[in-house]
């Protein structure tokens, strides 16, 4: 393209210089018209059409291939379901692959590698947007969109849902943590471990008694609910409820007791009817899920 542009530029400048040098009236009106039709219309149409066809053909070749992990991101109302190291089959898939190491609302990425997000949704259209790292990509029910990202600088970045998806849309954020590839591997290895929960743990007993396990999984225990976020390593995350509150024992208690006041429209029932002690016991136990 550069070579072509130089040739055309030299020709156009040459013509202009030539035009200033010739005697007025040296060429007739017909000759002038011919130059405009051939040089000004036909030539650019042919050249630009050829470039367009060539460029479109080149697009798949230029698309960056991932050389890092494949991470499934499911946009839910109103949080992000994450699974590390899933098997992403090429081609157009209708739903996200099962398996992988589950997490939520926080995505760790290795710096300097091209990781691939497989992005889907079980309910409505959302959009994953991590402004410092990549452009927006819609999460559409019934199809899987792919997004290759290559973060270069370690750090913590913010992401949001960028497509109105319901009441709590504005409280559907996430954190992206970019670390070295070694730290990334260690993180995923830690996340793949089950939680260590004693059978006589007071907080865990109240967690199951109140039916939290119907919606939440704590790997290594009998809690295998799939509706809400995996809580196995909840306390290792930076925020609660998709960026709504910073992670702390007090905020965990606030979220469980005043769920709808903290996040209006949230798809989890409030447990305000529980006694303060009971909520404190549950929150204290959740805090141990590092």
Residues in touch with Cu ion (CB under 5 A): 126, 161, 165, 172
Q: Which of residues 83, 268, 280, 289 is near ligand HEC by CB under 6 A?
A: 268
Return the sign of the alpha-carbon dihedral for residues 137, 239, 218, 206.
negative
| Residue 161 near which of ligand HEC, Cu ion, none (CB within 5-8 Å, type-dependent) | Cu ion
Total chain residues near ligand HEC (CB under 6 A): 31
Question: Quick one: how far is CA 167 from the chain centroid?
Answer: 20
- Interacting positions 225-254 with ligand HEC (CB under 6 A): 227-229, 234, 237, 240-242, 252
How near is the Cβ of 268 to Cu ion at its closest, in Å?
Answer: 16
| Residue 281 near which of ligand HEC, Cu ion, none (CB within 5-8 Å, type-dependent) | none
Alpha-carbon span 142 to 139, nearest angstrom: 9
| Residue closer to Cu ion, measured from CB, 81 or 126 | 126
| Residue 126 near which of Cu ion, ligand HEC, none (CB within 5-8 Å, type-dependent) | Cu ion
Q: Dihedrals φ, ψ of 79, to 5°?
A: -155, 175
| Residue closer to ligand HEC, measured from CB, 129 or 271 | 271
How near is the Cβ of 137 to Cu ion at its closest, in Å?
Answer: 12
| Residue closer to Cu ion, measured from CB, 43 or 164 | 164
Alpha-carbon span 236 to 161, nearest angstrom: 22
- Interacting positions 79-98 with ligand HEC (CB under 6 A): 79
| Residue 212 near which of ligand HEC, Cu ion, none (CB within 5-8 Å, type-dependent) | ligand HEC
| Residue closer to ligand HEC, measured from CB, 168 or 179 | 168
How near is the Cβ of 243 to ligand HEC at its closest, in Å?
Answer: 9
| Residue closer to ligand HEC, measured from CB, 88 or 103 | 103
Alpha-carbon span 119 to 242, nearest angstrom: 17
How near is the Cβ of 279 to ligand HEC at its closest, in Å?
Answer: 8
- 216 counts as binding ligand HEC under rule CB under 6 A: yes
- 74 counts as binding ligand HEC under rule CB under 6 A: no
| Residues at the site binding ligand HEC, with contacts judged by CB under 6 A | 78-79, 104-105, 168, 207, 210-212, 214-216, 227-229, 234, 237, 240-242, 252, 255-256, 263, 266-269, 271, 282, 286
């Amino acid at each position: 393209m550069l070579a072509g542009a130089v040739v055309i530029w030299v020709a156009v400048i040459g013509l202009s210089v030539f035009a200033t040098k010739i005697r007025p009236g040296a060429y007739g009106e017909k000759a002038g018209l011919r130059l405009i039709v051939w040089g000004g219309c036909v030539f650019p149409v042919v050249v630009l059409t050829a470039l367009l066809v060539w460029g479109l053909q080149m697009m798949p070749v230029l698309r960056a291939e991932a050389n890092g992990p494949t991470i499934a991101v499911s946009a839910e109302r109103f949080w992000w379901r994450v699974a590390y190291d899933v098997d992403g089959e090429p081609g157009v898939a209708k739903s996200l692959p099962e398996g992988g190491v589950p997490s939520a609302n926080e995505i760790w990425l290795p710096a300097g590698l091209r990781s691939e997000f497989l992005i889907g949704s079980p309910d409505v259209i959302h959009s994953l947007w991590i402004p410092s790292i990549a452009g927006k990509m819609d999460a559409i029910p019934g199809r899987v969109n792919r997004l290759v990202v290559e973060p270069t600088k370690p750090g913590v970045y913010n992401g949001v849902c960028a497509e109105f998806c319901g009441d709590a849309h504005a409280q559907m954020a996430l954190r992206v943590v970019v670390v070295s590839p070694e730290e990334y591997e260690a993180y995923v290895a830690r996340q793949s471990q089950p939680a260590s929960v004693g059978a006589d743990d007071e907080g865990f007993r109240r967690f199951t008694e109140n039916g939290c396990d119907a919606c939440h999984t704590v790997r290594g225990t009998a809690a295998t609910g799939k509706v809400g976020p995996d809580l196995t390593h909840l306390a290792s995350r930076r925020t609660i409820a998709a960026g709504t509150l910073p992670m702390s024992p007090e905020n965990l208690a606030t979220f469980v007791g005043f769920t709808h006041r903290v996040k209006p429209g949230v798809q989890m029932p409030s447990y305000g009817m529980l006694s303060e002690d009971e909520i404190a016991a549950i929150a204290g136990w959740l805090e141990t899920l590092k």
